Chain A
Amino acid sequence: MSKHTTSKYLAFHVAGEDYAVPILKVREITAGLKMNRVPGTAPYVTGIINYRGRIVPVVDLRLRFELPELEDDARACIVVCHCSRDERPYTAGLKVDLVTEVVNIADDEVEPVPSVEATELIEAITGIARVDKRTILLLDLDVVVSLELSARLAIAAATKAAAELEQDAEQAPPA
């Protein structure tokens, strides 16, 4: 989409991998904001935060990519981004292990994603860049927060929850 040769990206670590998003989509990097859990949301939505008076959902990228949760999240932060969902503007936070730097990536340094691993979440990666001997995966924000993937996961989660509730009910202790 970009006609220009170089763009700036914000790079961060998630479970040992480097990812990046276009800097223009980033509103702010924040840490220490109180996380509020919301029942019934997809498992990778860790909760909502009060971002400048607005309620913004936070997606834990580790869980989103089906990776194990971060044990020690002392240096974890939330990258508040501006993306779109169903073609409407949407603000969401991404919980990452560590924000590393702002990096310039030239269009010709970006390679397409190899179709080796055929997981759904591959749709979230727009390309792979090699910078200073590092491999950086470029994220498509809209896909990360997309309704499609969420709906499928939500239905699965809801079905599971309903089944669990029935199980619990059957096992309820007598008065």
Chain B
Amino acid sequence: MISSGLLTTAMLGGGHIASLFFLFRWFSNSDASHVLPIGDDPPTRRAAGRFTLRAGFRVALVAGIATALLAIEANALAAIGSWVPGVICGGNWLPTLDCRLEAASSQLGREVALAILVGCAVTMFAARHLMSSSVLYLPALLMIGIIGFGAAADIIAGGEAAARPELLFRIIAGLQLTAAAGFALSAVILPLRSVTAAIRCLLAHMAGASVRILGAISILALWPNLPAASAIALVVTMLLVPGVASALTAAAALATSTGCD
């Protein structure tokens, strides 16, 4: 039972990391030049921005769609999350904050923390040898360092109790709200030149939502087995940071739709 649960958790976590890899790879692929021309043309005087009726309608429409996407993501998480043993969610339109996780905490908190700390050390060693010249090296070290810090805090504090599950659901809810706001800002600011672009934008946002849900589910499945500080550290590094990045998937999709302006 324990080993199948851990296997499922490992698969979910692996799936989350793999999906992040593909998503970030897509973000970083860019054929068009990023160099801004600095010609000798005289500066053009930009027209002052005006809040027109059309702009107001667009803002209202985007806000409505963003709210709907927020509700869809929250309910999707509640529905999928209910498959995780112990997760119970409410029935309102934004169920995330009403979710509870009722599962017995692991009694091996300190041992788990120690294993995490050793894992961090090994990963740092591997990173140093495999990716020390990569731009991702320092961010990776930062993430590993934060996780290691959490594990060390657990070892010092005793590591007996799991973190309060409501913290996790608050953070997930905050991330969902950030994603909705990210979609809204992207759709209002960036040009939307065609229906195809709008559809790509929506699909991209949903892809980002899928990645966030996968991450949330994998952390939920792992939560009862994690000592408190390690759990918080994992949430910050594996959920929050990539989650904010995935909140701008719609912006990236709109950018690819515009091509060179």
> Are A and B a genuine interacting pair, yes or no?
no
